[in-house]
Structure 1
Amino acid sequence: MKNVQTRPPSFPQAPLHQPLAWEKQTQWQVLCGDTHHWRMGMYSPKETSRAELHNLERHDCPELFVLLHGSLTLVIAESSGLREIVLEPHVPVLVAAPHAGYCPRGPYSGVALVVERDSFDTEYRPARSWIES
């Protein structure tokens, strides 16, 4: 188990009124935010199957995922077990459960925009331990 605290300001300065640069083939990159309110970034997992996911993360607040392109599947832990959510392009999904994601068509082949708070705590644990607790 690992715990991480994220505190403001938790994002880089971003230029206004112009496109934001981001590095493709990067699992998670925070791009911008509003201090003490929200931050957003691009999420593109290198994992290509559920079997490759070793840990799930849970924040103490929900986060919003919107698939921009490609294919990306979230795996969430529920009391009944692990469940997969296949993200659909431009359809927002609000997640509060322990989760992780993978790109079934190859590493970094799906990209989701993620919006979350600027201040939160995250717990990382093996997937099965979320179900057993």
Structure 2
Amino acid sequence: MAIYNKLFIVDDDELFVVIAKHLLQELDFAEIVMEFPDGEDAFEFFNENDPSQYPDIIILDINMKRMDGWEFLNAIRPLNIPKDIKIYITSSSIDPADLEKAKADPYVDSFISKPLSAEKLKEIARDKK
């Protein structure tokens, strides 16, 4: 049985998404995995769908072209998204300012440096329990 029901990957790096989906499947991490190539597409999903369609967890890249992770977080705040959705920020660059910003954001659960690994996903799974 999967750890989470629904997980969103919001990332414009196609290789990252392929690897993440493989790891998620291998670990039976989520029943449903949906991917969005940028924050704008993910925001549209939240804006157009009922909260019952929202994910349990989001893996959110910071650096994307159309709408980055920070812009996505700012866009969903007025929608009153439930705070029980776990949001994990990801980035390949570990900028101390991004780490501090992630720690200070009430919607962000943690910061995960890329590449994503089975160990990092297992750590997220342990946090759920």
TM-score by length of 1: 0.28
Which has the higher Rg, Structure 1 or Structure 2?
1
Higher helix share: 2
Higher relative contact order (CA 8 A, sep 6+): 1
TM-score by length of 2: 0.28
Higher strand share: 1
